[in-house]
A and B are shown apart, each in its own frame.
Chain A
């Protein structure tokens, strides 16, 4: 591999031990939260990670951040293997990779002022020699996150701000260390529809102005339709389809992607679509089905699918799907 990617994830696995194994159980069961995920990201690229609950997208983010230790596989960031980084290296890494969380009401400590919250990363990493220097950086971050003039927000507490403003504070807190990679875990799903676009546009602008790469985790494909470069669809811990946004939306190859896209409601009453509604619920990630993990719910599964775990088949450049029925586009 001659080309150096900004972020490269190779066969990453994260398993959790299931339940409380008693002294008498010999077999330890695992929750296969992330089960062999590979991904490459370039500088300034935005990739959307889409999936339903239990697909492992949040665990993947936590593992990339180093908040969870991976069970297997490699993570290479800016050319350095960070999979088994020690505490000191981890701390330095925090300045380069930051996370934005889902719940603006819970991500902020109600007993801290906005200035304290946004300034906390600086304190932790001992950046900025004087209080004034730190303050200036906090102001910069707040304004970059759209909270202008920053002064009126500095001494406020989270409960005094609206949901949208709080999410901006969370983003400011992530920006203050000037990271290169942002992991946004459902950053707008708890906000009102009319406010979501503000935050999304903010992220889109930041990508351009600061050259930040973003991994955008969501269950709602619609929100990133226009600013993600690529999209990866996850199911039961594996990426089942990945490709450029247009390609995946217009020509989905994996039956799960197709089903998902067909049921996402579209605000157009005149559009009547064929909806593929899968039956049942996502099985638990402890006892994975044999062969293709999707076959129990797949509308086009055949016997073959019950035996073979499908490899990635390339449909077009950068567009792959893990399905035996995929047609390769010549």
Chain B
């Protein structure tokens, strides 16, 4: 079958720079900084036009003119020599900025070159250059600057060179570490694999990715250079005939502006320095946010309130034999951001979990399974919001619980094993400590040694030797860390354990060990487990029931045998066809063309319709209901309607 023509994701701007500009101009801090900078640069450029008096002559100046307060003739008053502070100020801008920019240029050039050479070529060269940088970093720079400048002629050129030649250290470090980081990225390996030489790689791969950081650092270096120049001038080490702002302050301070009460002579030049440095700082800070966007939200931000809404069409799989532990009814979760349509991550999901049951939650990237799991315990990120439905756990509705009740039910009633345990454990605390924490929180009044006993017991349960409890996560291997996560999850004897892709990053043999462990523990402790995964093989081996999700909604839900042998939803069927089966190795794998829908721009009608091989007209316009096919089998598809 001819592959469908699939458009790239979304029409976007055709240039990286325009992309960048769009983000940049929406960052207020950066824009303000840029504007402030442009203003002062213009002042420096047009100093002649802007000045009101000729600052080079002393003609027409008498002793009466010294330290005159601001007035109509002298907007910023006069200085110790009777000259107009405003005019000195605009020319001072030129001097301060020129020295600052040129000195910074030298620093950036030297530092950048050193950084790239050190980072790229490594070995002895890198060692030497970095040791040199380390030494220069440790030596305090202002005293050194002062010493050198003091012992040479006070000229602006000198100052430019000295500041420049001592200011490369931060640039060198940053450029080197960025070069190292880029060098180890796969696309550089690919470039080598196609036969590119060093120069090509530096030019096409290293430089474009080092440049943004270099620019941010450059801004810092410029502001430091300007501050350094002002300080040196203030200390009397600059050329007294070229009035930079620092030099103006040197004269004012040293020539009695304070005792004369001439605050203008002290405030105005300083404000100039503050203006420029603040402009650069804002610009730098904003740029950094644009180039290195931090995650918008952190885990401790207050969440959104739950929207209570009557549960709609719900089908409950209640069995008489095993009591129901967890019943999710018509749960919907959206991600809400300002001035954008909400991402409807989970909609109208219902399922039932019985005691001792292992439910497999299957779906691919973007199907909402992790959001669903986090929602069960109200651990959604700040933008997430439960907009409808209920989560009944042991008779109480989690969506309606207070903060205190939530703290009790978490871990104690329902615990989670996260994916990729590397960062799921705090790297600076021992593993034993972190398990202990969970026990202490929920099991009241247990004496210290009993808690330690319990920790050892738990580790033993998952096959980790007792002495490992005082080790740190980085000392555990990948498989061991996952076991430790399991041990921790069982610490408070929960009824339900949610395992979110617990073996995805592990080798197949370690995966088998972990799965076997989970199965044993389930039988031993009578646990119920919700197992989130994309691996249909694992689900077939382990699970009792299966919930297949697509694009945030339930596609199909039934027991494992039905799903694998008489699936009704086209997505389930296609997914099974796409999954390799070692018992039938000649089976040609099918694929589903296209990609999952964007949750903030969903198609009308069935979410799977654009990719469905059996879609009819109706599928594109009308959202399918959840059809009950059997006592224990539901599917949301128009085609299964009896």
Contact = CB atoms under 8 A, between A and B. Distances in A.
Contacts of A71: none
Given A125-B195, A194-B575, A267-B537, 5 more contacts: A101-B186, A160-B12, A173-B190, A198-B591, A200-B589
A99 B595 contact: no
5 contacts: A109-B187, A160-B12, A220-B508, A263-B509, A265-B537
Interface stretch (A8-16, A29-37, A150-158): A150-158
A233 B7 CA distance: 39
Contact of B8 (A109, A125, A152): A152
Contact of A263 (B197, B512, B574, B586): B512
Interface stretch (A208-216, A273-281, A300-308, A311-319): A273-281
Given A107-B190, A265-B538, A269-B540, A225 B580 contact: yes
Nearest to B537: A265
Contact of B583 (A90, A155, A271, A277): A271
A104 B24 CA distance: 28
| Tier of interface size on chain B | 35 or more
A27 interface: no
Nearest to B559: A269
A279 B507 CA distance: 13
B541 interface: yes
A193 B578 contact: yes
A222 B586 CA distance: 10
Interface stretch (A161-169, A285-293, A320-328): A161-169
Given A201-B591, A263-B509, A268-B540, A99 B582 contact: no
A106 B187 CA distance: 6
Contacts of B10: 160
B5 A148 contact: yes
B508 A98 contact: no
A161 B508 contact: no
Nearest to A54: B507
A72 interface: no
B365 interface: yes
Contact of A52 (B196, B507, B580, B595): B507
Given A146-B3, A160-B12, A266 B194 contact: no
A219 interface: yes
Contacts of B477: 281
B461 interface: no
Contacts of B560: 269
A265 B593 contact: no
A115 B192 CA distance: 18
Contacts of A17: none
Contacts of A222: 537, 579-582, 585
B586 to A, nearest CB: 5
A315 to B, nearest CB: 18
B508 A101 contact: no
Interface of B: 3, 5-10, 12, 14, 16, 185-187, 189-197, 200, 204-205, 208-209, 364-365, 477, 479, 507-513, 516, 534-541, 560-561, 564-565, 574-576, 578-583, 585-593, 595-596
A264 interface: yes
B591 A278 contact: no
B4 to A, nearest CB: 10
A150 to B, nearest CB: 11
Given A160-B10, A195-B595, A103 B194 contact: no
Given A106-B185, A111-B16, A192-B364, A226 B586 contact: yes
A177 interface: yes
Contacts of B197: 124
Contacts of A223: 580, 589
B227 to A, nearest CB: 33
A249 interface: yes
B140 to A, nearest CB: 31
Contacts of A53: 507
A226 B588 contact: yes
Contacts of A267: 536-537, 539-540, 564, 576, 579, 581
B194 A98 contact: yes
Contacts of B588: 201, 226
Given A266-B537, A266-B583, A268-B581, A194 B512 contact: no
A163 B477 CA distance: 29
A26 interface: no
Contacts of B564: 267-270
Nearest to B513: A277
A102 B193 CA distance: 14
A181 interface: no
A67 interface: yes
Interface string A65-109: 101000000000000000000000011001100110111001111
A68 B354 CA distance: 55
B8 A173 contact: no
A259 interface: yes
A196 B16 CA distance: 29
A121 interface: yes
A219 B507 contact: yes
Given A109-B187, A265-B540, A201 B508 contact: no
